[in-house]
Structure 1
């Protein structure tokens, strides 16, 4: 047996012993590699060889076992057998791809019947091959969702629809909580939240806000909270959150829990003029700097101007009067010239 010839045909199938009885590695066809092990008997007769395949290769060659057995009986050596096996594998892969690409005619009739059962008004789009379908689904709360489905030859549209609807229903409480927040508070960001958005930044007062991040699986539990605003306003809110956290009741709505724990009423957007709630950075006059929002605020009650951390850092660095102690810079507010403190964090740089 010529190892050189075998190496040229199957360079990834290598001998595992000196006698040339065991070969292990991969066979390649149509740019795909399949794991294969060939074990020859002691007399090295190919007719009695044993093949061990990965499950992927077994699946592709299902129905071709008799052909492979016949080739083992008639091939003169392992090299010629591997060449014929590659030919069989090429044919099997082409037939597999053809079956996947061209479903049986009854597949389309079943698909049309499924659409009729769901209602044609739910169909938003379908491509020419009926392989990509866009459906409109309404959950029990009346929310409309658009989903895109990739269908295969064995797909059952009704089953997929029911699975998606079940998933949507599992998120009902999560969306109920967010809908109440969007309706009854002034959400600063995101401005047009998608259904997948778990974060809301809610206005509390002039230049004071809270960002909450909900867990979709437990939407009524205490979310992660981050306050933004002047220290003299934010610190009391943090203290109330820490001291009243034991009052949090998962059986009560999240918004009501926030009111009770923080001991506040959330204003609605109608309670403010947009000009009353300055959100842009007082230095670069923009709201977003890369992905950062203004998260530093002048602590003076008559100022309260917000700044990006990076902008304020650059500003304070230009002032001769500024001084730094470790990661804290002491300086003057660019707007009111009152003392301002900047605690540096890695997220700014």
Structure 2
């Protein structure tokens, strides 16, 4: 409709991105066939409505009762909980606070037949947001369900906040509420990656030690030998200290630059979202590399060989044997 409208009326200009409001002049070709101006305007209105109904994005415009229902529900919920609403009154962002004072946002996308149709809900959570909805449900009930979910995850966030506040987190750079993984610095080019279960945050998490083998092997042996000492009644950070028999460097005693050694190939610390996680195993070298950089480097050398997903070659710095596994992104 837009193209034909502009073609037939070149003096009309759209005033919004949706092309629903125009300004300008039209050539009144059918005015002579109309009895008066009122008759012409009624015919013009009919033509425009037919054209609008043929546009799929306009076919789901909510009826008037949708808006009265939405306003009534917001009055009950409280306008102070509304952070954002779009111009179509379809997408809302509601704020919520858990018992520890953390602020959260619930994004709701209402359907045109609200409340007969269930809305789409999303939030920054480590688990899928499961809600129940009936044609009699309201935004207040949806918000209450969200608060219940937040309370069930309070211990999970408490655990990670203790880790974040008392260790140097290498990854993710800026943790979100949905992140369950933390890569914690142990020393220069040595770290541990832990994956905390949101449903059981104080249980032994999945652990992966990263670094040169001569440093990682003793730590891995301690982890395997002391795993039975894990105490679910204690914090994850205290348990990691006890099981690994180490003290983690903290922001109070160390600078992050102590653990931010650049990649030996691209000479940068952060490559998009990745940081160096491959290290030469020679104790005299221990040069770190990004996995993608090392893989591309070794693949370009005629002396390198590949077996399944592992590439074997020489360290670019000390020429000692080095291997790298292909990740899903590089393969």
Please state which band the TM-score falls in when normalised by the shorter chain. 0.5 to 0.7
Structure 2 counterpart of 1:148: 107
Per-residue CA shift, 1:79-110, capped at 9, x if unaligned? xxxxxxxxxxxxxxxxx978x63326762463
Query: Counterpart in 2 of 1:110?
Result: 72
Question: Cα deviations across residues 140-167 of structure 1 (Å, max 9, x unaligned)?
Answer: 0000012122342354121111101001
**Matching residue within 55, 63, 85 for 1:126:** 85
Which residue of the other structure, out of 92, 97, 120, is the alignment partner of 1:138?
A: 97
Aligned with 1:242: secondary structure? helix
Query: How far off its partner does 1:250 sit?
Result: 1.4
Aligned residues: 247
Higher helix share: 1
> Is the CA contact (8 Å cut-off) linking 2:91 and 2:108 kept in structure 1?
yes
Q: Supply the distance in 2 between the matched residues of 1:161 and 1:199 (Cα, whole angstroms).
A: 27
> Which of 173, 177, 184 is residue 195 of structure 1 equivalent to?
177
Asked if the contact 1:300–1:338 (Cα under 8 Å) also holds between the matched residues in 2, the reply is no
Q: Indicate if the aligned counterparts of 1:278 and 1:305 stay in contact, CA closer than 8 A.
A: no
* 5+ residue gaps, structure 2: 1-58, 116-134
1:214-251 deviations in Å (ceiling 9; x for gaps): 11111111111111111111111111111111111211
TM-score, scaled relative to structure 2:
0.65
Asked whether the 8 Å contact 2:280–2:287 carries over to 1, the reply is yes
Which residue number in structure 2 is paired with residue 299 of structure 1?
281
Q: Which has the larger radius of gyration?
A: 1
Shift in Å, 1:274 = 4.0
Following superposition, the deviation at residue 307 of structure 1 comes to: 1.2
Change (3 A) 1:122 1:296: same
State whether structure 2 residue 318 is matched by structure 1 residue 341: no
Q: CA RMSD in A?
A: 3.0
Cα distance in 2 for partners of 1:221, 1:150 equals 36
Q: Is the 8 A contact 1:115 1:123 kept in 2?
A: no
Alignment partner of 1:164 is 2:146: yes
TM-score when scaled to structure 1?
A: 0.62
